[in-house]
Amino acid sequence: MTPSGSLAGKTAVITGATAGIGLYSLLALAGEGANVIGVGRNEARILKAEALIREKLPDAQVKYLLADLSIQSQVRNLAVEIQDLLKERGIKSLDILVNNAGVYAQHLTRTPEGIELTLAVNHLAPFLLTHELLPVLTSGTDQRIITMSSFAHIRASMNVGRLNNPFPYVGILAYARSKLANILFTREFNRRMSGSPVHAFAMDPGLVNTEIALKERGVESQIVWSFRRKKGSSPEIPAQTVLYLCREKSILQSPHNYWRDTQPKQPGRNAMNDRMAAELWNLSCELCGIQNTDPQ
């Protein structure tokens, strides 16, 4: 399908842009003329990504910012830095936010703020970053938020009250819940922001050959993923769906909030549970210290 809409002159932020799906999404957007702000957590990996971008797209308009998204103060600082950068460039609104950064943690790990790591990086960071960027995400005419979910959500259930105290902790279940949270967040965001210029989409990138589960301490997960990922696609494939969700005009009228391979998909039953979505929103506000106001 030929996509509609140009990205020339648009400004996009992509988290987790130093590797895998995020890096290739950055290349896809920059290749279409967008000014892209990539977010990474590690300076050496940012330098490596910048070198690859220079090699593939020497004229790309790309700038990286450093933030560990597991730490809320760093998410808040990042939002300030992004808004300062836009101001410096005389830009009033952010056109695209791709919440892509994600982790898999085999063993229970807590952030210095006491949040379970998968919940912190995969759900609360997108939730908080989106919230902090709302002033620039709602000041244009067509603005989009894409949050990287996964088919893994399909088996997930969620006891919202126990989300930050999972017992027993099982890495794959925590990951699946965080990916369910991505779709519930997208659903509740669209309900609350209905009538505004900003639209949120969650996407399933499919099985992708990246290093996601090779980066953590769990040896068993590393072994399983080292085999499983070989069956995955190149990250260039889901990057095309990111690009599609960033620029296709017809999807703004679509009632669907979950996409894969440029097509709408029916998410799992729990991902369509409005009560769960509202409870998760309330808990997320509490865990991020955000005042919970519902404009509807």
Smallest separation, CB 60 to ligand NAP (Å): 17
Smallest separation, CB 9 to ligand NAP (Å): 26
Q: Which residues bind ligand NAP (CB under 6 A)?
A: 16, 18-22, 40-42, 45, 68-70, 100-103, 121-122, 148, 150, 205, 207-208, 210-212, 215, 232, 235
| Of 98, 109, 260, 96, the residue nearest 174 (C-alpha) | 109
Q: Give the chain's length.
A: 296
Q: Say if residues 203 and 258 touch (Cβ distance below 8 Å).
A: yes
Helix axes 171-192, 125-137, angle to 10 degrees: 20
Which of 93, 186 has the CB closer to ligand NAP?
Answer: 186
End-to-end distance of the chain based on CA atoms, in angstroms?
Answer: 35
Say how many C-beta atoms besides its own lie within 10 A of residue 3's C-beta. 18
Buried b (16+ CB within 10 A) or exposed e, 128-149: bbbbbbeebbeebeebbbbbbb
Smallest separation, CB 85 to ligand NAP (Å): 18
Could you confirm whether 24 is annotated as catalytic?
no
Which of 20, 267 has the CB closer to ligand NAP?
Answer: 20
**Cα distance between residue 20 and residue 6, in whole Å:** 24
Which of 190, 241 has the CB closer to ligand NAP?
Answer: 241
Smallest separation, CB 242 to ligand NAP (Å): 10
Catalytic annotation, pick one of 24, 104, 175, 258: 175
Smallest separation, CB 289 to ligand NAP (Å): 19
As separate numbers, helices (DSSP H) first and strands (DSSP E) second, the chain gives: 9, 8
3-state secondary structure at position 114: coil
Which of 93, 235 has the CB closer to ligand NAP?
Answer: 235
Instruction: Note if the bond before 205 is cis, omega within 30 degrees.
Output: no
Which of 34, 75 has the CB closer to ligand NAP?
Answer: 75
* Residues annotated as catalytic (active site), given as ranges: 175
